[in-house]
Chains A and B, each alone.
Chain A
């Protein structure tokens, strides 16, 4: 049985099992129908031209984790920002771990989507926001059909969240192959400020497929700083779709660190609905072996006087492959838009490759838009400079890789996280040079 058939037939049992009064019953039914009609995307679709899901769909994934798995804190401590205090919403094989989490209902909600979907006091919020901006593509629909757990974060008006929130999804490998479908809903109220770190971490060498969907609503004058740290385990695959809706004078800055994983697909969709919105999309990708990352970004400038900045850096070694498909749409009303897109890649080995496809669709006539893309090798002159100072070739290359990625790293606003990512990058590059942060 194909994975698609398995999913569709499992849905009936899954749906029966849920309580009937679930307000999202109709949403689920519609979503599974959508998935059934369209199936998994193939390379025939323009948006999936350079990424094939074939190899990861062969696995016999368990769709519902068998039970509550536990992990020892000491085994996973390294994946938390343990040197600073944070709120934490932690899932193990898709199931909430109260032991590892630190949630709150004190003046804001940092809790679970499962309780938000069930409890009456959240019903207004769910009705207003849930599945309102998530796309109708088949993978998002699949998530919508099956999703029952994830983070629910609702920051009320004028609230400045005093410490970062970590959303961490662990996979333990107790199931031979596991499919997880986390679903997050984040609402940042008017003039509220929040920092969120989302991490996907597989603790096993078994095959894992995570199909994650996150909806983020950024209300007027709100500010959200969001960091994605993606799997560094070469048997884990991740499809991560994030939908962001911004209102007037809001600011959303999102960093994506793709540091490995068998296959990673990032769908990032920003809609700027009010004037003076600012959107920043940054990413560092460091891949080796046969790893593959596909960054698919879309920024919709709907209102005038808004800005978007994209800066993606990629370092590809061995036979790794990357895709950058960045689309910017400037609607007719969106005059005085500033939209910039930059994508720079270094191919460390001859067999690594990158496909870059920037697209600008501009319907307004008074805008500033630019895109730039480079794919290259190391700058020989820079390498010679460092080596002439006595630094060996390998270390010199590492220093250059670090310098290359630095424009993305320098905008990380949580020092503890910056140090952490800095260290991961140094490890990935394979040197222990005393970088300054």
Chain B
């Protein structure tokens, strides 16, 4: 047993000492071979639970019958029953690492938080990170290896992988997801040493190559742009979803918010309204293909550029209309008016490399590119750039080899190329054509079905690994639990390919870990400090940029054709999270669509096509078509139809089956993000499970917003919307209110939400769901408005449907001091606590729903059924995720936000144990902790110096529906925008 000590929070994995030895015996008797392949039974659950701890401590109980679950006979020293432990690990998404802290209850990971020290997280965790833990417990995960559909033992698999090849690997191809992992790259190199002729290809649906390739154009080598939003007073986003889908989005969001609080300005030009677009001070709706034109117009308006660049831009900007030019002039004036090095122009990954190169050139022009501390720096990319040489090939080249029959064995680890490869490659047919194919994945998905061998991959929370953050910081992925099923990690499989007969993730990782770095320290912190890539010195080559821009040429004639745009789904990403019930039920930030994708279009385009929400639209690109239901999105660019990727799955994932249509059917290698196409209305309707069907506030003062100009003129805008209305009966008298004046009364909990920096990313929603055991109701449930989210994000549009402004308003129980729900409950099931919480007593609730009727905020959620029994998504092994500190609600009772009362009480207990008061801002709610922008602040009103008390005193503070006299404890801060009056 290794030495054990307890640093304050993070700690090494339990899996450390439990050396898996199952490879020896399971070849004959695979684990669970005697059981039906169903969800994990209670028995198995107990065994896993006990075993993961017991093995970790080397004190496994033996000789017990399988009927018994294993209690702590000998308590492991690292574990106190009922007190969760937190471990540092990382999550790999699109090849980049995000540092996480994962809460574990007696060896069972339950909740993901961001690692405050990690550069990609800064303490925040987005929707994918939050939902990571549910992915671990997905009942549809693959459980054992198969060959031609029949189960096989791992020994056979490893033998097959490590078998020596006479052709030095010439007929072997390895297909991986792009990764920053030093370990994976080392293992690939090792495998190539053994089989020098083997070639590796990297493929992911979201191709992140354009910014790096743009740097090659501008600076002559592959570099990753490193924007620093803290330094940018003005940001111009050209289709760049900085806060939504780009790597480092959590960090960007944090920095964006910090800047916005001081009055930054964000311009966004895009087609589909992204999370970033909703935060724009000035947003311009343009089709994706119009972006180069607009950027060129901006370049011309900025002036003082090298002559060849001006010529090229003039060519590209030919099609610019008056509105484009007005916009370009106004933005250019704004940019020029700022001191050098305080602005940022950033292009999106969906845009061609030439546009990125132009953006870099413009940043150079504005003095934004310099050393660290400037808005834009460059480093060597964490994911090595694409190469097409002896060792590496592109997916297209791989497809060529497959087609030519030069490949006898294709090993695919991770990803789902059969599903998401460009449609023109016809990858599915090619894979079937290969004599021997091995696919390793979490699920027996489309690629698994096309491959001969299927190998289950271990989930990130149950295997060792590493990766690098976008800035290069080496991050460690340590398991929190032993693999639930008979699975292997990607590095173990690669090691087998390299000839290792008994690969073990930890040994491999330790072997590749650089000497001289404190392993224990790195593990406990989750990353290796100081491994970020150093800034690169860059020198712009304007001629190359000009040439690349020139190659884009003026807009083609006939650009009146409809544009079909493809976007990563804000909920299921590229399809990898399609079986994650939390994410499927998560309303998209714009559109509020769950359990579906849709053809998103502007009101005007919808009118032209004659469709309304739910009407089927046939979308055609280059002769291929899919039919998707229409969903009208205010602020969508006209003349463009957008589709989210990641739907229309046909693998073994049961929840994902039949949800939406696959936009990959339209996506070609030539036009991965947008292309010309057609859309026509066809017969039929499809019901869309939309959680918010009304976008306007009907003139009611619900989510307040003001421009800085208005604010400067009248800083009392919000004053009329807070405080108690004068009443004929005098001010209301109520115990908690009276206690407020008395500092000895203990904390008075309250929350303040700054809608100015709420980007509507939904991280809080998933965090709440994970923390509070909020169950999933499925599409049918959402259709009848029975979703259970305690916290929802109301998104209101103002202005015209063509060019609206947006306010996100997270809506949760307001914990009214004068709660309308309380007096109508016949059985006192919802009552007020002395510390100001509106409490829900589940045991006492009889389910009259009177409280919900009287709740003006409609934040109460009712258990219409026993969701945990009725919904497949809540059943089986996913129950291992449940937070033991929170009751799983029975059918027939009402539930709602509790201000994470379990966290409050835990803090109280800790404070009492340590004989002290609860420290200022010590209690952090789940939503607050996840929020990347720090928009949510929680604390005690009794403490004048607490952040929440300060925010309540802020002149922007207001109460929603204050006129009803409910005196909510949750207050909001008005959204302040800083639009450029010249633009609008």
Chains A and B bind each other: no
Q: Which residues of B contact A (CB under 8 A)?
A: none
Q: Which residues of A contact B (CB under 8 A)?
A: none
